[in-house]
Amino acid sequence: MPKMKTKKSAAKRFRVRPGGTVKRGHAFKRHILTKKSTKNKRHLRGTTSVHETNMGHMAQMLPFAGL
């Protein structure tokens, strides 16, 4: 059997919270910001949780996170 490996790109983008949820940043906040409204950019600040329907994919990408 080959070793289980963590997807390093996922490990850099996601953090597992103590309650078992996964913290992620918002998309659409990196470039071409001039055409986006100030309200839209303000709501994209901070972090949010990964939706529960995607937690199976998170468990595959982060096998040692205890998900």
State the maximum Cα–Cα separation within the chain, in Å, rounded to a whole number. 51
67 pLDDT exceeds 90? no
AA letter at 4: M
pLDDT per position as a tens digit, 9-63 = 999 999 999 999 999 999 999 999 999 999 999 999 999 999 999 999 999 999 9
Q: How much is the pLDDT for 1?
A: 86
Distance CA 15, CA 49 (A): 10
DSSP one-letter code for 6: -
What pTM was estimated for this model as a whole?
0.83
**How far is Cα 21 from Cα 16, in angstroms, rounded to an integer?**
6
